[in-house]
Structure 1
Amino acid sequence: MVDILSLLSAIGGLGGLAVIISVAFWLGKKFAQIDERFKLINEKFKIIDHRFQEIDKRFEEIDKRFVAIDSRFKSIEGELKEIRERLGRVEGKLREHDLRFDRIENFLYRLTTAIKSINEFTIDILGYEGVLRKEAVDLIKRETSRILSFVSPNPLTKYEKQRLKELLEKDELTLEEAEELYEIANKVLEEHGDKIEAWKLLWYSRFWIAYNWRKMKETEKEG
């Protein structure tokens, strides 16, 4: 009886040892798998570290580019400042030229006004004193009629051009008609002072004004 119990105890002890060995083997395999996983994790971390290093390098390159861009902007700002200074000098010179042109324009305006006044005075005197005859004025009239070809649409209105045509077709003008023609002649001369026809139109209108003055004077004497 004792021998059988001893044998069973021995068998039980061997089974327990086998279990312990099996558990130890299983744990060894698990630890080996865990080690492999840690190795994989370490490899992945190395890859991630490498990528972060590449990202850091790219950021460094971007920083360098931003530095270059900042430097370029500073250079552009300097160039723009220089351009503004040059434009300021150019504007100053243009203002000086504008003042000179204004003085020249004023001089030419005064000169033209003086010439116009001299012409009017001369025609007035010659017409008033009867030195200019109607026959001579008819020649001026024929020359003046050519002005109708270039006064439309500027500076006369459609009505003024039509009125000019009607006045030039008359053989004789009253004082009111002559003064009306003189107003039209002034507008034409202001726009087309470089054309001799414009001046002839002025002379023609002034002759009829002077002619009517002389008629009025003669009528007063007869009365």
Structure 2
Amino acid sequence: MDYYTVSLLIGVASIIASLVSVAYWLGGRLTKMDSRLTGMESRLTGVESKLTAMDSRLTGVEKGIERLDERLGRLTNAINGVGESIIEYLGLKGVLNQGEVNYLKSDIRRITLIATNPFTEAERRRLLELVDKDDLTIEEAEELYRLARKFYEEYIDKTPDAIKVLLYAAAMRGITYRKYGALENLQRQSSQH
């Protein structure tokens, strides 16, 4: 072997030795990185399962809030029904005076002007016509009550004053029933059911 071949072989051997050493070192580093990545994967899997559990809990909370909202709606309707009944009864018994009725009328005008089209324009005009009338028939009192209930249902979330429209209609219905002696008819109808 000549000198150049030997020095070439020594050079190649040292390059191979360096490459083996670098490969060994890189292999160790890659093994460490692999174990770290495996650890991170397992932690991410744990986080993912916790997020899934939280998501199912949030779904349960949302359903609970929906049920609570429904119950509050029913409670609100029950409370308003009691208020309507009391106002209607006070009107029926003649407890409300004309000043109180006029106050409710003016409040209804103000509220219907604020509200943005609670019904068709014809229904709004009809509601105000019935509010302006001091002497209602039983049919008109019932129509006023129906329109007021519609107004209330559409606007109670926008203005708490919407209840005044319904209370006025309940009072006028009670006053009208008293005027026409319909209390006896109502009592007879109630006892027949």
Band of TM-score, shorter chain: 0.5 to 0.7
2:132 alignment partner AA: D
State the secondary structure of the residue aligned to 1:160.
coil
Taking a change above 3 Å as real, the CA distance of residues 39 and 163 of structure 1, as seen in their structure-2 partners, is farther
Which one of 51, 72, 83 corresponds to residue 119 of structure 1? 83
Identity over aligned residues, as a percent? 22
Taking a change above 3 Å as real, the CA distance of residues 145 and 58 of structure 1, as seen in their structure-2 partners, is farther
Deviation, structure 1 residue 186: 2.0
**TM superposition score normalised by structure 2:** 0.68
Which one of 108, 114, 119 corresponds to residue 160 of structure 1? 119
1:179 alignment partner AA: R
Answer yes or no: is 1:80 the counterpart of 2:41: no
Q: Which moved more, 1:76-85 or 1:102-111?
A: 102-111
**CA deviations over 1:105-128 (Å, ceiling 9, x no partner):** 454333212211101111222223
Q: CA RMSD for the aligned pairs?
A: 3.4
Q: Which moved more, 1:135-144 or 1:170-179?
A: 170-179
**CA deviations over 1:50-103 (Å, ceiling 9, x no partner):** 222222222222212221122112211332243245445545654665566456
Structure ID, larger Rg: 1
Deviation, structure 1 residue 139: 0.5
Structure 2: where are the runs of 5+ without partners? 186-193
Structure 1: where are the runs of 5+ without partners? 1-34, 153-157
Which one of 154, 168, 172 corresponds to residue 187 of structure 1? 154
**TM superposition score normalised by structure 1:** 0.60
Greater relative contact order, per chain length (Cα 8 Å cut-off, separation 6+): 2
Task: Give the aligned partner of residue 147 of structure 1.
Answer: 111
**CA deviations over 1:142-171 (Å, ceiling 9, x no partner):** 23444357644xxxxx36275675334651
State the secondary structure of the residue aligned to 1:139.
helix
Kept after mapping to 2: 8 A contact 1:186/1:202: no
Taking a change above 3 Å as real, the CA distance of residues 200 and 106 of structure 1, as seen in their structure-2 partners, is same
Kept after mapping to 2: 8 A contact 1:127/1:207: yes
Kept after mapping to 2: 8 A contact 1:164/1:181: no
Taking a change above 3 Å as real, the CA distance of residues 57 and 164 of structure 1, as seen in their structure-2 partners, is farther
Query: How far apart, CA to CA, are the structure 2 residues paired with 1:141 and 1:185?
Result: 15
Which one of 71, 74, 93 corresponds to residue 110 of structure 1? 74
